[in-house]
Amino acid sequence: MTKNYLNTQSSLAMKSEGYYSAKTVGAKNAIDKTQKLIENALNTIPKKEILRFADYGSADGGTSQEMWSNIIKLIRETGDERQIEILYTDLASNDFSTLFKIMQGMQGNSDFAYQKFFSNVFVHGCGTGFHDQLMANNSLCLGFSATAMHYVSERPCLIENHVHMTGASQNEINLFKDQAHKDWETILLNRSSELIKGGRFVCINFGIDEQGRCLGNTGGKVMFNNFAMNWKHLEAQGIITNQEFINATFTQHYRTIEEFRKPFDDKESTISKSGLVLRSCETMITDCPYKTHYLKNTNTMSANDYAKTLIPTMRSWSETVFKNALINRSANEVNKIVDHFYNLYIDDVSKNPTGHAMDYVHVIMDIEKID
């Protein structure tokens, strides 16, 4: 295995300028489906002078905006006029400028720009990753994270013959699994420090469900295999080097339900002793909205039309991996190579769209701090 070289904190980001939220309708749909869980959690949280919320790994904030807007509206409709603080967190490389514009109705869907409609709601940004403690001890009422904590704090190795741990060798998988285990413990301990007694942390995270399904692998074509195949094609054509192929290793690990549950099921673990308990844990499939739309409109949409809506949602969160993999290239050359890479995928889907989709597979956890 080639030496790891990536600095996660400085290098990873979703595609910016609002592209991420605009092209990830599926992520938004998954978040919207969890609103009732957030509502139920809020009903049990002890009353504090200030309601403090956090949205970890929020990207540009657009995918969770409607959910937060609905939650704040419900709070105000009950006559609760307490001040509300919301901390949006992501890496330093995140596009926080777009996030603040979205929250103020200057970009995106202004119908959910809750800062415009409700008083005493304060939005803050934090450019430090969620593996660290981000708020003062015993200050957080409700933490939330969606589609983020599958990113590990550091890449334990480069994957030689694939781009993702789901297609790696067993030894490579074990290295990612060990890193993810350490990170999950760190994440939970930091959330435990931040939460008030009775506070909640609701996490909907990419994972592997009971049937072995994961993002882009729910019975049809396997998205990460297609990434690897097309990236390898560029190597075979001499467009990229073997090292550049290997460099495109996603800094991600998809945990199983057992991996998520392990620190809670062990009553002697540091997590259990920190006061955290797992109130619920279940899996959820969210159908790829682009696939659903295409199947409903095959009389008016071509396979190429479908491909040109599907691949941008994949590109919105994966592009930086392939761009960062390229060595000593001009910006223009990097863009041409990465455009060519995604166009190969568009061509694949255009030729035969059957089985191509990006269904979401989440593990949903409701965690409470009881002590």
The angle subtended at Cα 228 by Cα 2 and Cα 224, nearest 5°, is 110
| pLDDT value for 25 | 78
Distance (Å, rounded) from C-alpha 160 to C-alpha 107?
A: 41
pLDDT at 2 over 60: no
| pLDDT value for 13 | 46
pLDDT in tens, 34-92: 999 999 999 999 999 999 999 999 999 999 999 999 999 999 999 999 999 999 999 99
pLDDT in tens, 107-155: 988 999 999 999 999 999 999 999 999 999 999 999 999 999 999 999 9
pLDDT in tens, 333-353: 999 999 999 999 999 999 999
Is CATH 3.40.50.150 the classification given to domain 8-218+249-288+356-369? Answer: yes
pLDDT in tens, 44-60: 999 999 999 999 999 99
Boundaries of every domain in the chain:
8-218+249-288+356-369
pLDDT in tens, 182-204: 999 999 999 999 999 999 999 99
User: What is the residue-averaged pLDDT of the chain?
Assistant: 93
**If pLDDT is split at 50, 70 and 90, which confidence band does 23 have?**
low
